[in-house]
Amino acid sequence: MITFSTTTAQVKPEPYSFEVEIKKEIKAEKYQIMVPENRSDKDSRMIPITFIKLKSSAKKPGNPIIYLAGGPGGSGTRAMKGQRWLMFEQLRKIADVIILDQRGTGLSDQVPRCQSAIKLPADQPTNKSNYIKYHRQAARECLKFWESQNVDIKGYTTWESAADINAVRNALNVDRVDLLGISYGTHLALATLKRYPDHIGKLVLASAEGLDHTVKLPSLTDAYFDRLQAAIDQQPQAKQAYPDVKIVIKKVLNDVENKPKKMLVDDDPEFYHTLGKFEMQRITGYMLADPRNAASILEGYLDASNGDFSWFKNYLDWYVGSNEISLNGMSLAMDMASGISNERLQQVNNESKTAVLGDAINFPMPHLIDIIDGIDLGDDFRKPFYSDRPALFLSGTLDGRTYPEAHANIAQRFENAATITIENAGHNLFFSHPDLIKIITNFFDGNPPRNMTLTAPMPNFIKNK
């Protein structure tokens, strides 16, 4: 068994200041601890884990609240400088707020991004088969690159990040910490609770991803489209334009499968890209995380159904940049390590045959899962567990990446949990309703969790109307 430990005694902070989105300078404390990159290797190099402490103004602060960014690959310190600062400012009234940059991210990043020499051929459509083929080649090349940079990519797993959180707790010299996570950050929070149950207090899990939910079920993505259609149907103009979004999307995808679209990128006559069905499914899945993007992509599909693919060209101008494939080592390794159970993989494969987006929303999982030998954390890691810790689940009905059904599946194993359902909210939901930050703050301050439904403003599904 791997022993998760590190030496963090007498960690001294240094003054740190940063400017937030509202042009306000914030004074804080910056900590850095050294941990093994791979705790299963006795000769592992040490890497820095950096976090920012926002000191509480309370006379008797509660457990420190550690913020866990999503991704995997999101930076906590980057998030704190944007809109989420407004949430952290409220939370520090009751407890110290710890903004953690997880290993491989932000101020804790020791994994250089890999720019491979593998290119998506400009004259071939990006169908599922070759998209996977070329990314597998790029991943193998990148493994050699990271090895040449003295990076032990097998150290970038959720188990290791959970051990880092425990090391942060030790550095803070507290018995328990509370956790606030979003998306992949909830996956990490659950793993930390599973590994260190006695050292975790309360949890707020927004847009939650369970330990066996790294690969999303295509059926739940289709159920999302049904909720999206129900919302569209409440707006007469939108209902007239999109009487069945599934049919519109499927028609365009089938057309592109039969006749891929060759497009100039950035209007460069020497740089073109051939858009195929699988890549369009990937783009769609990416854009549907939040309803604010729905009007844009739906308009793109409606135009494409009439032969105008300019929306997708504009997207490629931003998205492709180069046909050369580049990879983020941290996010790749984290997903590969969390993996998928055989039972769930079979379910995904079966459902993907008829689902609108197939299994493209999950890429690169599970198609690169065997690339990194020995990194899979196994079914013991993915196995569901029960907890008596107070937990609050935040779920948006128009979240196209994590789903209300998945949240309910996780929450049922918490005997002291509640779900806040925000109608019309998407994946990034913290500011979707004016009461939500207060509810989160009150929960961390000791209010018991209780189920409730909030209603966010309905997005406009007819762009610029």
Domains of the chain: which residue ranges? 14-110+153-211+384-455, 120-150+216-377
Q: What pLDDT sits at residue 10? A: 57
Secondary-structure breakdown of the chain: helix, strand, coil percentages, each rounded to the nearest 5 = 40, 20, 40
Go through 299-323 and write b for each residue having 16 or more CB atoms within 10 A of its CB, e for each that does not: bbbbebeeeebebbbebbbeebeeb
CB 247 within 8 A of CB 99: no
Instruction: Mark the ranges of the chain whose per-residue pLDDT is less than 50.
Output: 1-9, 465
Q: Which of 143, 158, 155 is nearest to 372 (CA)?
A: 143
Q: What pLDDT sits at residue 6? A: 46
Q: What pLDDT sits at residue 336? A: 97
CB 210 within 8 A of CB 181: no
Q: Give pLDDT tens digits for 333-379.
A: 999 999 999 999 999 999 999 999 999 999 999 999 999 999 999 99
Q: What pLDDT sits at residue 266? A: 83
Q: What pLDDT sits at residue 110? A: 96
* CATH annotation of 14-110+153-211+384-455: 3.40.50.1820
Tell me which amino acid residue 390 is: P
Q: What pLDDT sits at residue 317? A: 80
What distances in angstroms separate CA 276 from CA 171, 199, 270, 280, 309, one per listed residue?
A: 50, 49, 19, 6, 12
